[in-house]
Protein backbone atom coordinates (compact mmCIF):
# COMPACT_ATOMS: atom_id res chain seq x y z
CA UNK A 1 0.00 0.00 0.00
CA UNK A 2 1.31 3.44 -0.94
CA UNK A 3 0.39 6.34 1.33
CA UNK A 4 1.14 9.88 0.23
CA UNK A 5 2.08 12.47 2.83
CA UNK A 6 1.33 16.10 1.93
CA UNK A 7 4.54 17.56 3.32
CA UNK A 8 8.04 18.59 2.38
CA UNK A 9 9.28 18.19 5.95
CA UNK A 10 11.70 15.26 6.22
CA UNK A 11 11.47 15.29 10.03
CA UNK A 12 7.69 14.89 9.89
CA UNK A 13 7.98 12.14 7.27
CA UNK A 14 10.38 10.20 9.50
CA UNK A 15 8.10 10.55 12.52
CA UNK A 16 4.97 9.57 10.60
CA UNK A 17 6.68 6.58 8.98
CA UNK A 18 7.64 5.31 12.45
CA UNK A 19 4.10 5.87 13.75
CA UNK A 20 2.44 4.15 10.79
CA UNK A 21 5.01 1.36 10.80
CA UNK A 22 4.25 0.62 14.43
CA UNK A 23 0.56 0.34 13.68
CA UNK A 24 0.74 -1.44 10.34
CA UNK A 25 -0.88 -4.77 9.75
CA UNK A 26 0.59 -4.88 6.25
CA UNK A 27 3.59 -3.30 4.50
CA UNK A 28 3.16 0.37 3.67
CA UNK A 29 5.22 2.81 1.65
CA UNK A 30 5.09 6.44 2.73
CA UNK A 31 5.98 8.96 0.03
CA UNK A 32 6.10 12.75 0.01
CA UNK A 33 5.67 14.77 -3.22
CA UNK A 34 9.43 15.29 -3.56
CA UNK A 35 9.88 11.51 -3.76
CA UNK A 36 7.94 11.61 -7.03
CA UNK A 37 9.70 14.73 -8.29
CA UNK A 38 6.77 17.02 -7.52
CA UNK A 39 7.00 20.53 -6.14
CA UNK A 40 4.45 21.02 -3.39
CA UNK A 41 4.16 24.17 -1.30
CA UNK A 42 0.50 25.15 -0.88
CA UNK A 43 -0.40 28.41 0.81
CA UNK A 44 -1.90 27.64 4.21
CA UNK A 45 -4.90 29.96 4.28
CA UNK A 46 -7.08 28.03 6.73
CA UNK A 47 -8.25 29.54 10.02
CA UNK A 48 -7.60 26.36 12.01
CA UNK A 49 -5.31 23.35 12.11
CA UNK A 50 -8.11 21.18 10.67
CA UNK A 51 -8.75 23.55 7.77
CA UNK A 52 -5.08 23.66 6.86
CA UNK A 53 -4.69 19.87 7.05
CA UNK A 54 -7.63 19.36 4.70
CA UNK A 55 -6.41 22.13 2.41
CA UNK A 56 -3.04 20.41 1.99
CA UNK A 57 -4.67 17.02 1.44
CA UNK A 58 -6.96 18.40 -1.27
CA UNK A 59 -4.08 20.21 -2.97
CA UNK A 60 -1.95 17.07 -3.09
CA UNK A 61 -4.86 14.97 -4.33
CA UNK A 62 -5.44 17.42 -7.17
CA UNK A 63 -1.73 17.49 -8.03
CA UNK A 64 -1.44 13.70 -8.05
CA UNK A 65 -4.54 13.32 -10.20
CA UNK A 66 -3.17 15.83 -12.70
CA UNK A 67 0.40 14.53 -12.86
CA UNK A 68 -0.17 10.85 -12.00
CA UNK A 69 3.45 10.03 -11.10
CA UNK A 70 4.31 6.39 -10.50
CA UNK A 71 3.42 4.63 -8.28
CA UNK A 72 0.31 6.78 -7.73
CA UNK A 73 -3.07 5.15 -8.30
CA UNK A 74 -6.40 6.92 -7.89
CA UNK A 75 -7.73 6.12 -4.45
CA UNK A 76 -4.33 5.96 -2.77
CA UNK A 77 -4.73 7.38 0.74
CA UNK A 78 -3.30 10.83 1.33
CA UNK A 79 -2.32 12.03 4.78
CA UNK A 80 -1.84 15.69 5.61
CA UNK A 81 -1.26 17.35 8.92
CA UNK A 82 -1.06 20.80 10.36
CA UNK A 83 0.52 21.29 13.73
CA UNK A 84 1.82 23.99 15.98
CA UNK A 85 2.41 25.26 19.47
CA UNK A 86 -0.37 27.04 21.38
CA UNK A 87 0.76 29.08 24.40
CA UNK A 88 -1.97 30.07 26.85
CA UNK A 89 -0.30 33.29 28.02
CA UNK A 90 -0.03 34.38 24.37
CA UNK A 91 -3.73 33.77 23.69
CA UNK A 92 -2.95 30.57 21.80
CA UNK A 93 -0.17 31.98 19.67
CA UNK A 94 1.77 31.13 17.62
CA UNK A 95 -0.82 28.43 16.80
CA UNK A 96 -1.36 27.89 13.09
CA UNK A 97 1.44 30.38 12.42
CA UNK A 98 4.04 28.36 14.35
CA UNK A 99 6.21 27.65 11.30
CA UNK A 100 5.89 31.28 10.19
CA UNK A 101 6.21 32.89 13.60
CA UNK A 102 7.42 36.51 13.31
CA UNK A 103 5.26 37.15 10.27
CA UNK A 104 6.30 40.43 8.62
CA UNK A 105 9.51 40.58 10.66
CA UNK A 106 11.11 37.85 8.57
CA UNK A 107 14.80 38.46 8.06
CA UNK A 108 15.81 40.13 4.80
CA UNK A 109 19.35 39.37 3.76
CA UNK A 110 21.17 42.61 3.13
CA UNK A 111 22.01 43.56 -0.44
CA UNK A 112 20.33 40.45 -1.86
CA UNK A 113 16.63 41.12 -1.41
CA UNK A 114 16.06 37.54 -0.31
CA UNK A 115 13.52 36.87 2.41
CA UNK A 116 13.96 33.81 4.56
CA UNK A 117 12.02 32.35 7.46
CA UNK A 118 13.44 32.53 10.94
CA UNK A 119 15.47 29.54 12.05
CA UNK A 120 14.00 27.38 14.83
CA UNK A 121 16.38 28.82 17.41
CA UNK A 122 15.35 32.35 16.40
CA UNK A 123 11.65 31.53 16.69
CA UNK A 124 12.25 29.95 20.10
CA UNK A 125 14.11 33.03 21.31
CA UNK A 126 11.36 35.28 19.96
CA UNK A 127 8.65 33.30 21.77
CA UNK A 128 10.57 33.24 25.06
CA UNK A 129 11.20 36.97 24.78
CA UNK A 130 7.54 37.68 24.15
CA UNK A 131 6.48 35.47 27.06
CA UNK A 132 9.08 37.06 29.36
CA UNK A 133 8.59 36.37 33.05
CA UNK A 134 4.88 35.60 32.79
CA UNK A 135 4.18 32.91 35.43
CA UNK A 136 1.58 31.27 33.20
CA UNK A 137 3.69 28.79 31.21
CA UNK A 138 1.12 26.18 30.12
CA UNK A 139 1.15 25.29 26.44
CA UNK A 140 0.44 22.43 24.11
CA UNK A 141 1.46 21.07 20.77
CA UNK A 142 -1.59 20.48 18.56
CA UNK A 143 -1.79 18.25 15.50
CA UNK A 144 -4.72 17.93 13.13
CA UNK A 145 -4.25 15.02 10.74
CA UNK A 146 -6.42 14.35 7.71
CA UNK A 147 -6.80 11.04 5.88
CA UNK A 148 -8.07 11.80 2.39
CA UNK A 149 -9.35 9.33 -0.20
CA UNK A 150 -11.60 11.50 -2.38
CA UNK A 151 -13.12 14.98 -2.05
CA UNK A 152 -16.21 13.35 -0.55
CA UNK A 153 -14.49 10.76 1.66
CA UNK A 154 -12.04 11.84 4.32
CA UNK A 155 -11.37 11.70 8.05
CA UNK A 156 -9.73 14.12 10.50
CA UNK A 157 -8.24 13.50 13.96
CA UNK A 158 -6.88 16.22 16.24
CA UNK A 159 -4.72 15.57 19.31
CA UNK A 160 -2.46 17.43 21.75
CA UNK A 161 0.68 17.06 23.83
CA UNK A 162 0.38 19.11 27.00
CA UNK A 163 3.42 20.81 28.49
CA UNK A 164 4.95 24.02 29.77
CA UNK A 165 7.26 26.61 28.25
CA UNK A 166 10.66 26.61 29.95
CA UNK A 167 11.58 29.57 32.15
CA UNK A 168 14.00 31.11 29.68
CA UNK A 169 16.71 30.50 27.06
CA UNK A 170 19.03 29.01 29.69
CA UNK A 171 16.45 26.29 30.40
CA UNK A 172 16.10 25.13 26.79
CA UNK A 173 17.49 21.60 26.58
CA UNK A 174 17.88 18.64 24.28
CA UNK A 175 19.28 17.94 20.84
CA UNK A 176 16.50 15.71 19.56
CA UNK A 177 13.33 16.57 17.70
CA UNK A 178 12.96 19.91 15.91
CA UNK A 179 11.21 23.25 16.08
CA UNK A 180 9.98 24.25 19.51
CA UNK A 181 10.88 20.91 21.14
CA UNK A 182 13.79 22.28 23.25
CA UNK A 183 11.58 24.84 25.00
CA UNK A 184 8.54 22.65 25.75
CA UNK A 185 8.87 20.84 29.08
CA UNK A 186 6.77 17.79 29.98
CA UNK A 187 6.29 17.87 33.78
CA UNK A 188 5.30 14.21 34.06
CA UNK A 189 8.57 13.15 32.45
CA UNK A 190 10.86 15.85 33.83
CA UNK A 191 12.30 16.51 30.37
CA UNK A 192 11.77 18.72 27.36
CA UNK A 193 10.40 17.19 24.17
CA UNK A 194 13.86 17.54 22.63
CA UNK A 195 15.26 15.28 25.37
CA UNK A 196 12.92 12.41 24.54
CA UNK A 197 14.10 9.46 22.50
CA UNK A 198 12.49 8.95 19.10
CA UNK A 199 10.53 5.99 20.45
CA UNK A 200 9.26 8.01 23.41
CA UNK A 201 8.22 10.93 21.24
CA UNK A 202 6.53 8.64 18.74
CA UNK A 203 4.45 7.24 21.59
CA UNK A 204 3.22 10.37 23.35
CA UNK A 205 3.44 13.24 20.87
CA UNK A 206 0.47 15.08 19.40
CA UNK A 207 1.40 13.71 15.97
CA UNK A 208 1.75 10.18 17.33
CA UNK A 209 -1.69 10.26 18.96
CA UNK A 210 -3.39 11.59 15.83
CA UNK A 211 -1.33 9.26 13.62
CA UNK A 212 -2.39 6.17 15.54
CA UNK A 213 -6.04 7.09 15.05
CA UNK A 214 -5.46 7.69 11.34
CA UNK A 215 -3.47 4.45 11.00
CA UNK A 216 -6.35 2.48 12.53
CA UNK A 217 -8.75 4.03 10.00
CA UNK A 218 -6.38 3.20 7.13
CA UNK A 219 -6.28 -0.41 8.34
CA UNK A 220 -10.06 -0.59 8.66
CA UNK A 221 -10.57 0.90 5.21
CA UNK A 222 -8.20 -1.62 3.64
| Active site members | 82
Q: How many H helices and E strands in the chain?
A: 5, 9
Contact predicate 177/183, CB 8 Å: no
Q: What is the CA radius of gyration of the chain?
A: 18
Q: Max CA-CA distance within the chain?
A: 55
Distance in angstroms (rounded) separating the CA atoms of residues 208 and 185? 17
Residue 138 main-chain phi, psi, to 5 deg: -65, 140
State the burial class of residue 46 (Cβ atoms within 10 Å of its Cβ: 0-12, 13-18, 19+). middle
Amino acid sequence: MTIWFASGNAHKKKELAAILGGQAGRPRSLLIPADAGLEFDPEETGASFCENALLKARELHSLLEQRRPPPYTSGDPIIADDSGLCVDALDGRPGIFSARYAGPSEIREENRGVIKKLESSERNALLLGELGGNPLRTARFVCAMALFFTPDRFFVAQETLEGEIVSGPQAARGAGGFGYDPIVYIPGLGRTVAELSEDEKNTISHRAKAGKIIAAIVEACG
